[in-house]
Amino acid sequence: MTLMSGAVTTGGSDPSADWSRDECQCELLGPQETSSDAVRRSARLTKFHVPEVVFGPGSLTELGHCALRLGGRRPFLVTDPGLLEAGWTDEAVGHLRRVGLRPVVWHDVTPNPKDHEIQAAFERYAESGCDVIVGVGGGSVIDAAKGVAILSGNGGHILDYEGVDQVVQPIPPTVMVPSTSGTGADVSQFAIVTDTTQHIKISIVSRTLVPDISVIDPRLLTTMPDWLNAATGLDALTHAVEAFVSRAHNPLTDIHALHAVELITGNLVRTQVQPKNFGARLAMAQAALEAGMAFTNAILGATHAMSHQVGGLLDAPHGVVNGVLLPHVIRFNAAAWPERFVALGAAAGLPTDGVPPHEVAERLADLVRALADDLGVPKSLTSLGVAEADVPVLARTTLKDACMATNPRDVDVRDVERLFREAL
């Protein structure tokens, strides 16, 4: 399996497929070594794929020009009822019309977008003669918009594209406008879709899914409900942590992952207790962007692979599940590779000088749990509705998730079952 944006290849006889821990590690300088020496020593082929980014307060005003530059005449705008109620959809439509475009709006998207919702949206897209696809909303909206793009360019059913590099034909141009600070969907090569027959989430991973343009206006973050602010912020933190320790990390992803951790741990709670604190909102918008750029190129790990299964089973908020699982996965991965967690601990504000790496990792896990507590996130999967009887099935489907390929520690079904039970 090949993860295209950077990353990991497994199987075959290609020597680059044999990733050792040392190769994946960002090593410290030797006593006589310059930073240039370190870069040459750690260098390997790296791809870093991100959209054009329009960032800052008021950037939504650029939406019409962005769609027009991509050849839009009749944009298909995907959104949801919450964005309609908040007024952001009307503002987006106004900016599209101001440059002469004739948008069609689709808003029948629910959290954790469903296979049948994407099919219905695509049918509306096709019958309307639309071109550029615009997503205005959170990760669910943006994933649904990507699903429409996949079907437009490739046909079939959305579940046909599960896995890595299954989207082989070009898709229509896409512009994404995130309304939450955490999913990273507006810059990523991922689309996550709920299979309503099997009650699982599937991961679709393809470089074709990286949007052409991401328009990030922090004003949109101010209308999130508290639970969504907490969930997406913890999702962004999980993106940053998992990208940094991923087998496919590289210097370009590392710097964004670490800065995202610093911004999130310093600002997420502030946005919860001071929703109108625009400085904190701006910081979280940047954190979500940087965490997204990191994980789309380094991919993720066991936390996301497990969380996708819980979300598919219970339709639970993805970021909340991440907040429950991440401390357990940090401890599990650090048991094999604690050194990698030292820089993450420092970014989160933990003391690291003279502290053994395994202790830094333990303190980082505790910090994540304390942050989740401050945000009102449940402590256990049981409180979300997961039962002991669900664990064997959840573990088996977790191992099939594309995110597991880049987890820094090898994992078998017994490991996953143990992690789920620890989190119950």
- What band does 46 get if pLDDT is binned at 50, 70 and 90? confident
Look at residue 47 in the predicted model and tell me its pLDDT: 83
Domains (range + CATH), the chain: 52-223 (3.40.50.1970), 226-423 (1.20.1090.10)
Section 398-423 average pLDDT: 96
Section 78-104 average pLDDT: 98
Look at residue 5 in the predicted model and tell me its pLDDT: 38
Answer yes or no: is pLDDT of 43 > 50: yes
State the Cα–Cα distance between residues 209 and 379, nearest whole angstrom.
Answer: 34
Provide, rounded to the nearest whole percent, the portion of the chain with pLDDT above 90.
88
Of 17-26, 296-305, 318-327, 328-337, which gets the smallest average pLDDT? 17-26
Compute and round to an integer the Cα radius of gyration of the chain.
20
State the Cα–Cα distance between residues 22 and 393, nearest whole angstrom.
Answer: 34
Sheet of strand 104-106, all strands in order from the earlier edge strand to the far edge? 52-55, 213-216, 174-178, 133-137, 76-78, 104-106
State the Cα–Cα distance between residues 191 and 185, nearest whole angstrom.
Answer: 7
Answer yes or no: is pLDDT of 200 > 80: yes
Planar angle of CA 189, 158, 5, nearest 5 degrees = 15
Look at residue 36 in the predicted model and tell me its pLDDT: 52
- Dump pLDDT digits (tens) for 14-30: 323 333 334 333 333 33
Q: What is the pTM of this model?
A: 0.89
Report whether 131 contacts 175 (CB < 8 A).
no
Better-predicted residue by pLDDT, 346 or 199 = 346
Look at residue 45 in the predicted model and tell me its pLDDT: 78
- Dump pLDDT digits (tens) for 234-252: 999 999 999 999 999 999 9
3-class secondary-structure state, position 346: helix
DSSP annotation of 175 reads E
Take residue 324 and report the two structure tokens written for it: 């429950």
Q: Which residues of 130-147 are buried (b: 16+ CB within 10 A; e: fewer)?
A: bbbbbbbbbbbbbbbbbb
Provide, rounded to the nearest whole percent, the portion of the chain with pLDDT above 70.
90
Angle between helices 318-334 and 226-245 (to 10 degrees): 30
Answer yes or no: is pLDDT of 340 > 90: yes
Section 48-56 average pLDDT: 96
Section 162-166 average pLDDT: 94
Look at residue 415 in the predicted model and tell me its pLDDT: 98
Place of tokens 């709006």: 105
Could you give the count of Cα atoms lying within 13 Å of 319 in the half-sphere of its Cβ? 29
Beta strand ranges found along 82-199 (DSSP E)? 104-106, 133-137, 163-164, 174-178, 190-195
Answer yes or no: is pLDDT of 32 > 50: no
Section 297-308 average pLDDT: 97
Look at residue 42 in the predicted model and tell me its pLDDT: 53
Look at residue 346 in the predicted model and tell me its pLDDT: 98
Answer yes or no: is pLDDT of 97 > 90: yes
Answer yes or no: is pLDDT of 8 > 60: no
Better-predicted residue by pLDDT, 155 or 22 = 155
Answer yes or no: is pLDDT of 349 > 80: yes
